Amino acid sequence: MKNLRYCFTWAFIIIFIYVNVLVTPYLTHAEGFDSVIQRPRSRLRRTRTRSKWVLYVGDYGAKGDGLHNDTEAFLEAWGIACSLAGFINVVFPFGKTFLVHPVDIGGHCRSKITLTISGTIVAPQDPVVWLGLNQRKWLYFHGVNHLTVEGGGTIDGMGQEWWARSCKINSTNPCHPAPTALTFHRCKNLKVRNLMLINSQKMHLSFTNCMRVVASHLKVLAPASSPNTDGIHISATKGVEVRNSVIRTGDDCISIVRNSSRVWIRNISCGPGHGISIGSLGKENKWETVQNVIVDGAYLYNTDNGLRIKTWQGGSGLASKITFQNIWMENVSNPIIIDQFYCDSRNPCENQTSAVRVENISFIDIQGTSASDEAIKFACSDASPCEGLYLENIFLVSCFGGNTSSFCWQAHGSARGFLYPPPCFSFTDDFIRQNVLVDSNPAIHSV
């Protein structure tokens, strides 16, 4: 009996060792085991940190072949991400193309979401898909806080059919709205980085009524002939940084409009396109402001305009405390321009007395070549002249030889350092002395 108990004890020990030491690790790590015995799989993939989750849109039915509609899969993954607490990553994986129809994606979410776009998201090619929907939006995010959109992938608006139907391309076509590819509305603490946006139906990337935004390391690309395809559009947004990005489109590389402030733009390559614009402001007699803007470090080439402020007659409000500095231009028409008579209309605009005030605008360390003889143009309102304009170290020569010039109408300011072309408003005695020395040096005029 004693021997029998002894045998049972050793048998139990041997079985225990076999199961827990030899078999279990093998089942856990052996390749191909899941094809024999499969555990229930969760579509939530937890990372090492307990509060972080990763959701792949493919786990929710997305095909990623560019043909099947993956919109519902995206919305399902987003809905789950928004409902969870913690840090959630929604992933469009690399190497796949996801067809996504117009979507309206709202907060408020419990989580801080990162939308990782490593593959490609494409829009429907046919504008008919938007029938009955808001034709101004494709990928529309609103009320989402602490959102990051990144991943190194591409957002393709497939805008060719929209462009062909535009009244800007064919004046016999009726003028209809077209979607902005990626819109963020009333979002806070937003980061958009390391993405390519191409061929948007209209504007590529828009921030409206947002706060605390950083957009960086972006490539925004569309043909120079594509209508209204602004690169980055900033409206009624406060606290924006745009940096280290390349923008080549058919309209403004960056446009900053109504009631935006504390905007910092640096290290931007722009062109082709319409340059970097403040405005337009004051259309349809509206009151609008843009204040506290710094553009520091930009390369503009083959653009229709360079650094521009544009306002409509009849408007009101203020464009103030705006600085453009450290800019290099190549073959740019209208390198420096303030236009308070802006009119983007099929019909002539009515002359009106009221105007958006333009004041305290600085242009510092700006060099390059102008594609027009008039390298500096300040066309300001009779009723509301431009005040506090400041020029420092400007050197803009003609692409084609000959001289460049400045034009002023109701523009007042000061200048310092070397300026070519010479300014057309009053300047200090120090500037006069410096300019006399420059005029006496023939080497300067041979450049």
DSSP SS3 for 258: coil
The conformation of residue 423, written as its DSSP 8-state character, comes to: P
Supply 167's token pair.
Answer: 């009244």
Please give the positions annotated as active site. Answer: 274
For residue 356, how far is the Cα from the chain centroid? 26
Q: Is the peptide bond before 421 cis (omega within 30 degrees of 0)?
A: yes
Q: Which helix (H) or strand (E) holds 183?
A: strand 180-185
For 212, how many CA atoms within 13 A lie in the half-sphere containing its CB? 8
Q: How far apart are CA 253 and CA 231, in angstroms?
A: 5
Q: How far apart are CA 190 and CA 336, in angstroms?
A: 31
Terminal Cα-to-Cα distance of the chain (whole angstroms): 112
CA angle 370, 204, 234 (to 5 degrees): 75
Q: How far apart are CA 13 and CA 5, in angstroms?
A: 12
Q: How far apart are CA 210 and CA 223, in angstroms?
A: 28
Q: How far apart are CA 19 and CA 38, in angstroms?
A: 19
CA 402 to each of CA 89, 204, 288, 421, 445: distance values in angstroms, whole numbers, following the listed order: 57, 38, 39, 11, 10
Q: How far apart are CA 189 and CA 263, in angstroms?
A: 14
Q: How far apart are CA 436 and CA 43, in angstroms?
A: 75
Q: How far apart are CA 158 and CA 161, in angstroms?
A: 8
Q: Which helix (H) or strand (E) holds 28?
A: helix 24-29
Q: Do residues 107 and 142 lie in contact, with contact meaning Cβ atoms separated by under 8 Å?
A: yes
DSSP SS3 for 51: coil
Q: Do residues 149 and 126 lie in contact, with contact meaning Cβ atoms separated by under 8 Å?
A: no
Supply 294's token pair.
Answer: 């710094």
Q: Do residues 360 and 333 lie in contact, with contact meaning Cβ atoms separated by under 8 Å?
A: no
State phi, psi for 128 to the nearest 5 degrees: -60, -25
Q: How far apart are CA 146 and CA 274, in angstroms?
A: 32
